Amino acid sequence: MEKINLEPTDDTPKIVLDADAGSYEFSGISIPEDAAQFYQPIMDWLDEFGKAPKAGSNFNFKLEYFNTASSKVILDILLKIDGINSNGGDVKVTWHFEEDDEDMEEAGEEYAELVEVPFDLKSY
């Protein structure tokens, strides 16, 4: 399966999706002009990954800021991960946030309530 390794820009996060290495990360800022278009390859990758998920996969979210359009797509990503887990995949999510960033902590808590996938909140 092909890996995705997108370097961050001023408007888009770093995204690493590498099943062979067991590395799954979304980090930085997400304010792309067209969030749905930007994240479509990620959604496609998750569809492919869901056909043969690697057991023990941990999707790490280390976002500093995201806009409203990105928040919808992040939920869609989490729902896809949730679906993979519901279909027998052994995957989980870790939501990282700076210790004093109440907005990101709250966003993680809200997302955790919307999915069934094991969801850890970790401050740094």
Give the residue extent of every domain in the chain.
4-123
Strands (E), the chain: 4-6, 14-18, 23-30, 57-66, 91-97, 119-123
CATH class of segment(s) 4-123: alpha beta
pTM of the predicted model as reported, rounded to 2 decimal places: 0.96
Q: Would you write out the chain's pLDDT as a tens digit for each of its 124 residues?
A: 899 999 999 999 999 999 999 999 999 999 999 999 999 999 999 999 999 999 999 999 999 999 999 999 999 999 999 999 999 889 999 999 999 999 999 999 999 999 999 999 999 9
Q: Tokens at residue 14, please?
A: 């770093």
Region label for 42, one of left (φ > 0), alpha (ψ between -120 and 50) or beta (otherwise): alpha
How many whole angstroms from its chain centre is CA 65? 13
